[in-house]
Amino acid sequence: MTDYVIVGNGAAGTHAAEAIRKEDGGGRITLVTDEDLPFYYRIRLNELISGDVAEADLLAKKEAWYRDQNIDLRTSTRVDGGDAKKKTLVTADGQELGYDRLLLATGSHSFVPPIKGSEKKGVFALRSVQDARDIASWAKKAETVVLIGGGLLGLETGNGLRKAGKQVTVVEFFPRLLPRQLDVDGAGRLQQIMEEMGFSFRLGAKTEEIRGEDAVTAVLLEGGEKLSADMVVISAGVRPNMELAEPLGLNHDKGIQVNERLETNQPHIYAAGDAAEFRGMPYGIWPAAMEQGKIAGTNMAGGDLTYGGTTMANTLKVVGVDLASAGNIDVENELDSRTLSDEEIYKKIVLENGRIVGCIMLGDTKGFNQVTKAMSEKTDVSAVKDEILREGFDFKSL
Ligand SMILES: Cc1cc2nc3c(=O)[nH]c(=O)nc-3n(C[C@H](O)[C@H](O)[C@H](O)COP(=O)(O)OP(=O)(O)OC[C@H]3O[C@@H](n4cnc5c(N)ncnc54)[C@H](O)[C@@H]3O)c2cc1C
């Protein structure tokens, strides 16, 4: 009987476990996580902060699923080290776990840049359900919030807090919002919409210091402006969790490096999801974690699937703002692109050799799935490229 051990029960780890069970009905599957919940929708943590949902509503798998699938889920258990020669892992409380096949699906953590004062009480970053609990709890006694970082996650966290009645100011180093998802025109539109919702923005602004005695009271920007703050949320990107790469002798750089079968350089050890680097890239998105987990799990159990990459696509989950963006959005306007802009919407598709390589849809995301599918499949759209953004275009024809 094969012993499968998976570290991390997020989208990658859970989809891997499911795939292993499909291939191997009798193998022993142990799923280890340092968090205290079964698999949950990490991407919906902002709804917990705003108070829109209870924790139980975030669960994607209940205890019964693990029982039915005969998966041994060990919550609140951290893996601290391992030995690839002996094929063992060691947990923080000293248990040894042997494996025949191992998957590292350890995800990523929030990157906190070295800002003076970031260790003060009332300064947070959002990654885990525990972070969301801490943020929601502190927010009860806070009125003003400063968010450092105007990326997708920052805006969504800010929206969670705005809905909970807080006054939110977003500080972004770039001169526009969502620098990786929006070009100048799109970002300007989004800013206007969000200002109407009650957000304040400081763009092209750098935080100099987080001030306060024990707990935060203000954020000082370079140039001297002081923003009053009862709490601060830093949202400056993520970094893969690679602590186990060294002890296990795994090649790693931006993430744990894997080939197209999701294998690392050590026999019988795989990596998937945010923790993995594939062709120089850690993806950091849920669909990639799901797909990689499924492929890694299948291969661990003797199957033969290959991974070719996932189209980078993002949607902003803020009610009242329809925004989706994917691929190369051609910020410098150097490629062949088509735009459509009126009072309500801003849309752009970017083309290269007759194929769509990027798109922005703000105000109306109809057709986004078909467009990203055409991007992934490299469909030749030369014949319809001038019509795609026209009213009434049949996206199914792509
Ligand atoms: C608030 C928020 C909103 C997001 N919104 C979106 C979105 O809209 N769209 C999108 O595509 N992506 C979104 N993301 C990113 C998405 O959540 C991740 O890409 C995805 O969760 C990655 O899944 P994963 O399984 O690789 O890792 P994770 O979900 O991070 O799971 C890894 C698990 O492993 C555990 N772990 C790590 N190390 C150890 C160890 N040594 N021992 C035991 N356990 C360990 C971690 O605690 C964690 O539970 C969002 C992320 C956040 C935080």
* Range(s) of the chain covered by CATH 3.30.390.30: 313-397
- pLDDT at position 49 over 90: yes
**How far from each other are the two terminal CA atoms of the chain, in whole angstroms?**
47
189 C-beta closer than 6 A to ligand 1: no
- In whole angstroms, give the CA distance from residue 187 to residue 19: 40
Both tokens of 210, joined, read 């987080």
CA-nearest residue for atom 39, ligand 1, is: 106
Q: Where in the chain is the domain with CATH 3.50.50.60?
A: 3-109+238-300, 123-234
CB 124 within 8 A of CB 234: yes
DSSP state of 35: S
Q: Would the pLDDT of 391 be above 90?
A: no
- The mean predicted confidence, pLDDT, of the chain is 96
The answer to whether the beta carbons of residues 151 and 178 sit under 8 Å apart is yes
Burial of 148 (0-12, 13-18, 19+ CB in 10 A): buried
| pLDDT, tens only, 206-230 | 999 999 999 999 999 999 999 999 9
How far apart CA 82 and CA 88 sit, in angstroms, is 5
Q: 307, exposed or middle or buried, with CB in 10 Å at 0-12, 13-18, 19+?
A: buried
338 lines ligand 1 (CB under 6 A): no
Give the confidence band of 344 by pLDDT, cuts at 50, 70, 90: confident
Least confident stretch, 5-14, 194-203, 273-282, 388-397: 388-397
- DSSP per-residue string spanning 194-258: HHHHT-EEEET--EEEEE-SSB--EEEETTS-EEE-SEEEE---EEE--TTHHHHT--BSSSEEE
Q: Is the CB of 97 under 6 A from ligand 1?
A: no
Q: What is the pLDDT of residue 352?
A: 96
- C-alpha to C-alpha distance for 312 and 290, rounded to whole angstroms: 14
Q: Which of 55, 22, 19 is nearest to 289 (CA)?
A: 19
For residue range 100-126, list pLDDT tens digits in order. Answer: 999 999 999 999 999 999 999 999 999
**Minimal-distance CA residue to ligand 1 atom 41:** 79
In degrees and rounded to multiples of 5, residue 21 shows phi and psi of: -60, -35
CA of 367 to the centre of ligand 1 (A): 27
Nearest to 69 by CA among 138, 145, 9, 132: 9
Q: How far apart are CA 49 and CA 241, in angstroms?
A: 24
In this predicted structure, what is the pLDDT of residue 180?
Answer: 87
DSSP assignment letter at 59: B
pLDDT of amino acid 130: 98
Strand pairing category for 28-32 and 346-352:
unpaired
pLDDT value of residue 35? 98
CATH for 3-109+238-300 is 3.50.50.60
Q: Does position 175 have pLDDT exceeding 90, yes or no?
A: yes
Band (68; pLDDT cuts 50, 70, 90): very high
Q: Is the pLDDT of residue 327 over 90?
A: yes
Band (pLDDT 50/70/90 cuts) for residue 59 is: very high
- Could you tell me which residues come within 8 angstroms of residue 209 by beta carbon, excluding any fewer than 6 positions away? 115, 116, 117, 219, 220
Phi, psi torsion values for 49, nearest 5 degrees: -65, -40
Name the class of domain 123-234.
alpha beta
Look at residues 15, 6, 14 and name the one whose alpha carbon lies nearest to residue 291. 15
Q: What is the pLDDT of residue 343?
A: 84
Q: Identify the pLDDT of residue 275.
A: 98
Span from the CA of 182 to the centroid of ligand 1 (angstroms) = 24
CATH superfamily of 313-397: FAD/NAD-linked reductase, C-terminal dimerisation domain (3.30.390.30)
How far is 321 from 155, CA to CA, in rounded Å?
Answer: 11
Residue 177, judged by CB atoms within 10 A of its CB (0-12, 13-18, 19+), counts as: buried
Kindly state the tokens that stand for 202.
């400081």
Pocket test for ligand 1, best of 43, 256, 316, 369 (most atoms within 8 A of CB): 43
- Cα–Cα dist 291/305, whole Å: 11
pLDDT of residue 94: 95
278-305 confidence digits (pLDDT tens)? 999 999 999 999 999 999 999 999 999 9
Identity of residue 388: I
Ligand 1 center to residue 4 CA distance, Å? 21
Note the pLDDT of residue 136.
96
Any ligand 1 atom below 6 A from CB of 298: no
